[in-house]
Amino acid sequence: MRRTLSHLADGRELICYDDTEPYVDGGAARDLHDTRDLPPVTAASELRFDPLTGEWVTFAAHRMDRTFLPPVADCPLCPTRPGGPPTEIPAADYDVVVFENRFPSLAPGGVVDPTVGDESLWPRRPAGGRCEVVAFTSDHDARFADLTASRARTVVDVLADRTVELSALPGVRQVFCFENRGTEIGVTLQHPHGQIYAYPFLPPRSQVLLDRSRAHRAATGRSLQRDVLDAERRAGVRVVATGAHWTAYVPAAARWPVEVHVAPHRDVPDLAALTDAERDELALVYRDVLGRVDRFFDGRDRVPYIAAWHQAPVGDGREHGRLFAQVFSVRRAVDKLKYLAGSESAMGAWISDTTPERIAARLREVAG
């Protein structure tokens, strides 16, 4: 894999990761000159603390006008082809590309008053951090499950590389890699892509995982997530696929109508810590899981999903973190969605419309 750093017209970083010739061996160089006339990115994000929940909430009012479901001809993640409109990727073709989001939720450099209305009850601070976009392929109509094994492996390496770099940024507490797919999820661009958030705080879900893991370690001396994985493998009934290094399973307390976790057999904090053998197998298992999700219902449509990579936090508590992927869908039937109504949205008390065992049985049934 060859890594080439460049900059877009407004100064944002763009990084090409090439896995094909003639670029990978340096036989040719990417021409990445952005000819657009773009104003500098101005992100006015801030964090406000909610004293009732102990959580930080991000406010990013500048995102209200971000690009929303453009026609294919105007897709900003497609290559800039001769005769076509300039895009975020100033190249006639590409393998995998990462660039800073033009409409970031998190960005460095903001200045805000330390409280809301001089009330100490509501602390606030700049929403520092970084948001990146990861274009998996130049093919607008592809799915991650359609990628070759070698391209999927490249994406794994790219996410690992970005995890290392973003974890080293001042103030970053959590690096979160994810893919949103489908308008039902809220996707604003249909081109196959993921995102990476480098949070300046520990998100609520990560905080809960950390607290639970820390308590389990204090009580048993063992890793909670490792114990969960071992228990799922012993039970077997919810295991979807397994290999030498990875197991995909539906968790015993799955919340979503389609949900599967992909976990390494070895205790590792993040993607960057994976060995070559683990990355090779992950590229296969992960594509397999996403393909099964698309076949879960009638197989005629692309199932909306979120694929989230949970990684150990940066700094305090890192020893209690363990890497795993969570893939889930809001669809509960071919023509029905799982809406988060009163119990889930207001009280956080989940009610599932199915059972984890039925989910796992169906995912095994639709193996490719």
> 166-186: per-residue pLDDT in tens?
999 999 999 999 999 999 999
pLDDT computed for residue 31 by the predictor: 86
Q: What is the mean pLDDT of residues 56-60?
A: 95
Q: What is the mean pLDDT of residues 226-254?
A: 98
Q: What is the mean pLDDT of residues 215-222?
A: 98
Picking from 201, 226, 256, the residue at the C-terminal end of a domain is: 201
Burial tier of 7 (Cβ tally within 10 Å: 0-12, 13-18, 19+): middle
Order the strands of the 305-310 sheet from edge to edge: 2-7, 13-18, 96-100, 130-135, 193-199, 174-181, 305-310, 324-329, 258-264, 246-249, 239-242
Which CATH number is 318's domain given? 3.30.428.10
Render 106-156 in DSSP notation, one character per residue.
S-TT----SEETTEEEEEEEE--SEEEEEE--S-TT--GGGS-HHHHHHHH
pLDDT computed for residue 311 by the predictor: 98
**Quick check: 241 and 232 in contact, CB under 8 A?**
no
Q: What is the mean pLDDT of residues 154-173?
A: 98
Q: What is the mean pLDDT of residues 248-273?
A: 98
Same domain, 57 and 96: yes
* Long-range contacts (CB closer than 8 Å, 24 or more residues apart) made by 202-210: 202/173, 202/174, 202/313, 202/317, 203/174, 203/176, 204/53, 204/55, 205/310, 206/174, 206/310, 206/313, 209/310, 209/321, 210/313, 210/317, 210/320, 210/321
Picking from 145, 176, 201, the residue at the C-terminal end of a domain is: 201
b or e along 58-75 (b: 16 or more beta carbons within 10 Å of the residue's beta carbon)?
Answer: bebebbeeeeeeeeeeeb
Picking from 179, 201, 223, the residue at the C-terminal end of a domain is: 201
Same domain, 60 and 160: yes
* From 101-110, 137-146, 259-268, 281-290, the region with the lowest mean pLDDT: 101-110
Nearest-CA neighbor of 236 among 361, 144, 346, 345?
361
Residue 42 has pLDDT above 90, yes or no: no
Same domain, 156 and 23: yes
Q: What is the mean pLDDT of residues 76-92?
A: 95
Same domain, 14 and 72: yes
Same domain, 237 and 183: no
Report CA-CA distances (Å) from 156 to 94, 143, 144, 174: 17, 15, 12, 18
- Predicted TM-score (pTM) of the model is 0.97
Q: What is the mean pLDDT of residues 100-109?
A: 93
Same domain, 340 and 287: yes
Q: What is the CA radius of gyration of the chain?
A: 21
Residue 62 has pLDDT above 90, yes or no: no
The SS3 call for residue 331 is strand
Nearest-CA neighbor of 269 among 226, 217, 227, 318?
318
Residues belonging to the active site? 193
pLDDT computed for residue 156 by the predictor: 98
Same domain, 12 and 123: yes
Residue 61 has pLDDT above 80, yes or no: yes
Same domain, 183 and 243: no
Q: What is the mean pLDDT of residues 199-209?
A: 98
CA angle, residues 182, 145, 246, in degrees to nearest 5: 115
Same domain, 15 and 73: yes
The band of 111, judged by pLDDT with boundaries at 50, 70 and 90, is confident
Q: What is the mean pLDDT of residues 152-164?
A: 98
Same domain, 33 and 144: yes
* From 60-69, 117-126, 191-200, the region with the lowest mean pLDDT: 60-69
Q: What are phi and psi of 345, to 5 degrees?
A: -75, -45
Same domain, 219 and 196: no
**How many residues can be counted in the chain?**
368
Residue 161 structure tokens? 């590389």
**Average model confidence (pLDDT) across the chain:** 96
Residue 220 has pLDDT above 80, yes or no: yes
pLDDT computed for residue 68 by the predictor: 87
Q: What percent of the chain has pLDDT over 90?
A: 91
> 120 Cβ partners below 8 Å, 6+ apart?
none
Could you give the number of structural domains in the chain? Answer: 2
Q: Domain residues for 303?
A: 205-365
**Quick check: 24 and 157 in contact, CB under 8 A?**
no
Same domain, 25 and 169: yes
Residue 300 has pLDDT above 80, yes or no: no
* From 40-49, 136-145, 148-157, 168-177, the region with the lowest mean pLDDT: 40-49
